[in-house]
Amino acid sequence: MNTRLDPVLSNIDADLPNALERLLDLMRLKSISTDPAYKDDCAAAAEWLVKDLTSIGIDASIYETPGHPMVMGHIDGPENSSAPHLVFYGHYDVQPVDPIELWDADPFDPQIESTAKGQVIRGRGSSDDKGQLMTFVEACRAWKAEHGELPCEITFFFEGEEESGSPSLVPFMKEHADKLNGDVALICDTGLFGHDTPAIVTMLRGLMGEEIVITAANKDLHSGMFGGIARNPIRVLTKILAGLHDDSGRVTLPGFYDGVPELSDELRAQWDALAFKPEQFLGEVGLNIPAGEDGKTGLQMIWSEPTLEFNGINGGYTGAGFKTVLPSQASVKLSARLVGDQDPHKIRAALHDHVRANLPDDCTVEFHPHGASQASVMSTDHPAFEKARAALSDEWPKDAAFVGCGGSIPIAGHFKTIVGVDAMLAGFGRDDDQIHSPNEKYDVECFHKGMRSWARILDAVSKD
């Protein structure tokens, strides 16, 4: 029996109906950050959060930015406590609802629905990220109600522009780095592995994007008159692209794999225990054969190995019907997902060198960069990480694992590079939550167990 934690969990269970009503209230606010028409709604969501945090004894305020406001709150832990200072991040803005005709009901009139798989919270922002954000706030509410204080010092940091590229985030974090300088940052904007395996994301891939435009003739040419004698930039481009991978799927750019770490035996064992089935994963999108580098497992391919992918190719006539033309130009948009200490700028330079080295003399090339960010690798040496993993394992049917994420979550990297704090990403969404899509939902079970999970984590990490 845990005399400190058990009353908090009981409080969460008993107060679930009220917690759901609070979440629905927040979800009714149309905080769409990408559309200026909803500026007042974003401000209202920030004000709602300040009022809610204040109601449980947290010193919270709105911080204006050139865009939508930030919300910050702070509360001290017990006197003379050696527990870590935690910084919790979430975002209150949501995606646009288009296409509205595909919603079964008003996306900003959220409801609790019964489905064949259980009850769900239906509406925009239920899973991304209002529902996830509120799991932590509700866990803190229960702690405060039972013990009159929280078990450790906590700073709350809520953003209103995550869904619109976070233009104010980096300047704000630099200006207020002293307030964000805790021991560990917590981010609840991820999901479970599968249906009921909790996961702590400790690896996020970086990103390098590039558009390449190859020009041959100074205008489109008739393929009958010029075919065979004139250079075809599509052929030039596809030959260059074909040389970027060998037959095993490995990227051929010199230095591309510099900084790619070996997977530790401990992580390998955790990932193996997840029993990931590539065929099942691919089967959901109509495929069944893994196409990554030979000798790598499915989870390695999407979490801990880098990629170089072609995102779009354009050239010549692509309209209806047929046109026998040799195009003047051909272009490709490509992206590299990066891991470990790979340097996106060195990889971009190597890509440029490869293209120029294989470009015929009568062709020219233009390069248009589209962003560059390094991977984020969180150190799990801080004892809070293993304590949190054990706490999650106590709440869910299956043991929690440290996992990777194929995508990029910039805030985690910003905590590391701007504030010098490692981020722990633990979320409770499921793959079928339809975030960014019509009929978004968040399972009531995930909301409930998410609150209980954070209560367990707060208990675990605040103990010596």
Tokens of 339: 């891991």
Please tell me the pTM assigned to this model.
0.87
| C-alpha Rg value of the chain to the nearest Å | 25
- The H or E element containing residue 87 is strand 86-91
| Dihedral class, residue 295 (left if φ above 0, else alpha if ψ from -120 to 50, else beta) | left
CA 203 – CA 195 distance, rounded (Å): 21
> Mind listing the pLDDT tens digit for each residue in 303-329?
999 999 999 999 999 999 999 999 999
The amino acid present at 132, given as its one-letter code, is Q
Contact 353, 317 (CB under 8 A): no
Distance from the Cα of residue 339 to its chain's centroid: 15
What φ, ψ does residue 408 adopt, rounded to 5°? -125, 130
Quick one: DSSP state of residue 245? Answer: B
Type of residue at 457: I
CB atoms inside a 10 Å sphere around CB 36? 9
Sequence-distant (6+) residues with CB within 8 A of 42 are 31, 32, 33, 68, 69, 92, 93, 160
Fill in the amino acid letter for 18: N
Give kind and range of the element (H or E) at residue 420: none
- Residue 34 is predicted with a pLDDT of 96
8 Å CB contact between 62 and 71:
yes
From CA 459, how far away is CA 391, in angstroms rounded? 8
Task: Tell me which residue of 369, 463, 448, 414 sits closest to 132, measured CA to CA.
Answer: 448
Q: How far is CA 259 from the centre of its chain?
A: 22
Q: Which amino acid is at 258?
A: D
Q: What is the pLDDT of residue 399?
A: 96
Which tokens go with 52?
């809610």
* Partner residues linked to 119 by β-bridges: 114
Number of CB atoms found within 10 A of residue 390's CB? 14
Distance, CA of 400 to chain centre: 19
Mean pLDDT by 10 residues, the chain (464 residues): 95 98 98 98 98 98 98 96 96 97 98 97 98 98 98 98 95 98 96 95 93 97 94 98 96 98 93 94 92 92 96 94 95 96 97 98 97 88 95 97 88 93 96 96 98 98 92
Let me know: does 142 contact 11? Beta carbons within 8 Å: yes
Q: Is 229 exposed, middle or buried (0-12, 13-18, 19+ CB in 10 A)?
A: exposed
pLDDT, position 409: 84
C-alpha 378/C-alpha 3 separation (Å) is 32
What's the rounded Cα separation, in Å, for the pair 359 and 240? Answer: 8
Using CA atoms, how far apart are residues 454 and 326, in angstroms rounded to an integer?
A: 61
3-state secondary structure of 273: helix
Find where tokens 């560059």 sit.
372
Tokens standing for residue 251: 């990227």
Q: Which domains does the chain have, with CATH numbers?
A: 6-204+375-461 (3.40.630.10), 206-260+306-373 (3.30.70.360)
**DSSP bridge partners of 377:** 203
Consecutive H or E run containing 240:
helix 233-242
Q: How far apart are CA 107 and CA 296, in angstroms?
A: 42
Helix (H, G, I), strand (E, B) or coil at 330: strand
Provide the pLDDT for residue 292.
Answer: 87
